Amino acid sequence: MFPHATPTRRAALGLLASAALPAFATAPPWAPSKPEFIVPSGAGAALDSAARKLTELLAREGLTESFVVSNRSGAHSIQALEILQRQRGNANLLMTLSSGYVTSVAQGALPPRLQEFTPLATLVREFTTVVVRADSPVQNVQDLVASLRRDPAGLSIGIATTLGNHIHLGIAQPLKQAGVAVRGLRVVPYKSSAESMTALAGGHLDVVSATTPNLLPYLQARRVRVIAIAAEQRLGGAFTDAPTWKEQGVDYVSDSFQGVMTTAHVTAAQQQFWVQALQHVTQTADWQAFVALNQWKPHFLGPQETQAALRRQIAQTQALLGELNLQAAEIAAR
């Protein structure tokens, strides 16, 4: 059936396709050829590491050939989404779907043609953090809020990759709830959180908002300190000592996620292949250990549930951006 596939891959492909095709079908089940994964951020950041782990496991489990992983960083993921739009109907092309897409749509930053895609799955919830250098005089949320109430532009705050995205909101929203005039914040966008963390450690930033995986090497080297994490309760591992916003008097929890999408106009069988393949690899011990290491929470949703969650989050984020004056027009005017 697949002359160049290994026995393991032939068995895995047959298993994944069996539910998608009638028993009497004679055509071979669809399988990706020369698959590519587009990551809308720079190399080394959380989106990149997740994509590379996911594609590694898809190939290792015999479900696909090896992937080409391409980084296409840029404001509102426009460069990455342009590639997806130009290749409509190409189910060999996958892309990260994340909270960054939600905020871009909510800001009105994406034309309708760049909102056409096929959702495959939500994989994990992730949590934004606020971090400073280990020697920073800012010891906790109270210090940060007091400093920024006095002078909202007094501290430089690094984010990735776009003003108004979920990383930006991950610090702006709780600070607003704490009484900071967030329109005056001095926010510096970077191509990835890997770059903003490097700038923080090098003394070029005072504060960084980033998701948990980007902090790990710096926490392990004791070069930085987490002063707030947007989770319901404290995390484990390297983040055991990291306090939540809630325990410091600010009722804020982030709703960030990572998932996978493909191009518009793929077939039902192609979509189902990828959904079943993603379900399979996210149940492996390797993926579960990777998720635990990064302090994410497993959160698998299929295509329909993912689409419904996107609609709900876009509406919620539009309301939030309006409150913060962080719509695309406002950001462009800054």
The answer to whether residues 224 and 148 belong to one domain is: yes
Q: Is residue 332 part of a domain?
A: no
The answer to whether residues 246 and 263 belong to one domain is: no
The answer to whether residues 116 and 263 belong to one domain is: yes
| pLDDT tens track for 227-244 | 999 999 999 988 999 999
CATH number at residue 236: 3.40.190.10
The answer to whether residues 154 and 243 belong to one domain is: yes
Mean pLDDT of 70-88: 92
The answer to whether residues 135 and 115 belong to one domain is: no
Total domains in the fold of the chain: 2
Q: Is residue 334 part of a domain?
A: no
The answer to whether residues 138 and 280 belong to one domain is: no
Q: Is residue 260 part of a domain?
A: yes
The answer to whether residues 142 and 200 belong to one domain is: yes
| pLDDT tens track for 155-208 | 999 998 888 888 999 999 999 999 999 989 999 999 889 899 999 999 999 999
| pLDDT tens track for 43-67 | 888 899 999 999 999 999 999 999 9
Q: Is residue 293 part of a domain?
A: yes
The answer to whether residues 231 and 136 belong to one domain is: yes
The domain boundary, picked from 234, 253, 272, lies at: 253
Q: How far apart are CA 284 and CA 59, in angstroms?
A: 13
Q: Is residue 22 part of a domain?
A: no
Q: How far apart are CA 252 and CA 246, in angstroms?
A: 6
The domain boundary, picked from 253, 270, 289, lies at: 253
Q: Is residue 300 part of a domain?
A: yes
- In this prediction, residue 250 carries a pLDDT of 97
The domain boundary, picked from 253, 283, 311, lies at: 253
Q: Is residue 149 part of a domain?
A: yes
| pLDDT tens track for 109-151 | 999 999 999 999 999 999 999 999 999 999 999 999 999 999 9
Q: What percent of the chain has pLDDT over 70?
A: 90
Q: Which two tokens stand for residue 54?
A: 């996911």
The answer to whether residues 122 and 132 belong to one domain is: no
Task: Count CB-CB contacts under 10 A for residue 92.
Answer: 20
Q: What percent of the chain has pLDDT over 90?
A: 74
* pLDDT score of 16 more than 60: no
Q: Is residue 240 part of a domain?
A: yes
Q: How far apart are CA 67 and CA 55, in angstroms?
A: 6
The answer to whether residues 279 and 313 belong to one domain is: yes
- In this prediction, residue 33 carries a pLDDT of 97
Mean pLDDT of 300-320: 93
Domain residues for 98?
7-17+28-126+256-320
Residue 36 exposure: Cα atoms within 13 Å on the Cβ side: 11
The answer to whether residues 203 and 59 belong to one domain is: no
CATH number at residue 275: 3.40.190.150
The answer to whether residues 229 and 169 belong to one domain is: yes
